[in-house]
Structure 1
Amino acid sequence: MTERRRISSGSRFEDEIGYSRAVVDGGHVWVSGTTGYDYAAMTIADGVVEQAEQCFRNIAAALAEAGCTLDDVVRVLFVVPRREDWPPCWPVVRRHLGRARPASTMIQAGLQDDAMRIEIEVTARLRKE
């Protein structure tokens, strides 16, 4: 039986709210909804495209710690507060997930902070060794 492993990004919200950036259990990695917050600089860019790029950097870091990559993503959920922000993100999504081509859903909904313009959640599969 595989042990559940929790991965943290170092965000203060993980401790304050009570969640993990990612959880590895069995053959899958579940990555929490991830925003464009740059934890190293403790900042968030203004533009949605820049935020989407940072989301993928944050997700890729969690996946790497789990032992996989963006190419192993099988499911993705995008949340954008403003519908018009979604089409500018398409090239970013294609660049990061174009090989994996996961099942995908996009919803329009508010996020925790008005500065956040996109949130991305993914599920990936661990590679069999």
Structure 2
Amino acid sequence: MSRTSIIPDGVHAPAGAYSHGVVTHGPGETLYISGQVGVDQSGRSLESFSAQAEQCWRNLVAILKAAGMCSHDLVKVTTFLTRAEDAVELGRIRAPFLDGARPASTLVTVPGLVKPEWLIEVEAIAFKSVSSSVDEAQRACS
């Protein structure tokens, strides 16, 4: 099995020793997406929960796209919130990004993230079978 790191244009550079995503190659491709936070391409932390959540999902979708995948390839999403009361708003924000996909999902409330201004972090795993037909993949990702 081989692996490829994913650090797409349009997403801020990793802040440490990690890739935004890692694709493994074998009978299918698995993409492991590192926790995405509300940081824009310039590395600036956004202020409101809504802005941070939208940026997390924009980053996550950009990583999927850079790996040749889309939200319908997500198999697992884990979300960390610092405030439980943001869960309802999160559901409203993430729905359009999922576009009907229903990956396994975990939502955890934590006392804090690495930087105090971060209110949300989202990590994910996606899988795309190499046996999937091009038509099937285009239909799911359109």
Bin the TM-score by the shorter chain: 0.7 to 0.9
Kindly tell me the number of residue pairs found equivalent between the two proteins.
124
For residues 67-118 of structure 1, the C-alpha deviation after alignment (integer angstroms, 9 at most, x for no partner) is 1012211110000111112211111122212411111101111211111111
Matches of 1:12 and 1:62, distance apart in 2: 12
Q: Distance in 1 between matches of 2:60 and 2:96?
A: 14
Task: State the AA in 1 paired with 2:72.
Answer: D
Question: How does 1:94-109 map onto structure 2 within 5 Å?
Answer: 94-109=95-110
Residue 29 (1) aligns with residue 31 (2): yes
Structure 1 gap ranges (5+): none
Report 1:48-63 matches (<5 A). 48-63=49-64
- Partner Cα separation in structure 1 for residue 95 and residue 14 of structure 2: 30
**TM-score, normalised to structure 1's length?**
0.87
In the alignment, which residue of structure 1 is the partner of 2:47?
46
1:20 alignment counterpart:
19
What displacement does 1:28 show? 1.0
Runs of 4+ in 1 over 6 A off after TM superposition: none
What is the CA-CA distance between 1:7 and the residue it aligns to?
1.1
Amino acid in the other structure paired with 2:33:
V
Shift of 1:42: 2.8
Q: Identity over aligned residues, as a percent?
A: 32
Kindly tell me: are residues 12 and 76 of structure 1, through their superposed partners in 2, closer, same or farther at Cα, counting changes over 3 Å? closer
Q: Which residue identity does 1:28 align to in structure 2?
A: T
Residue 72 of structure 1 corresponds to which residue in structure 2? 73
Q: For the residues of structure 1 that align with 2:53 and 2:117, how far apart are their CA atoms?
A: 13
Q: CA RMSD in A?
A: 1.6
- The one-letter code sitting in structure 2 at the alignment partner of 1:90 is G
Larger C-alpha radius of gyration, 1 or 2?
2
Which amino acid in structure 1 is aligned with residue 59 of structure 2?
N
Which residue does 1:11 correspond to in 2?
A: 13
**Structure 2 unaligned residues grouped into runs of 5+:** 134-142
SS of residue in 1 equivalent to 2:2: coil
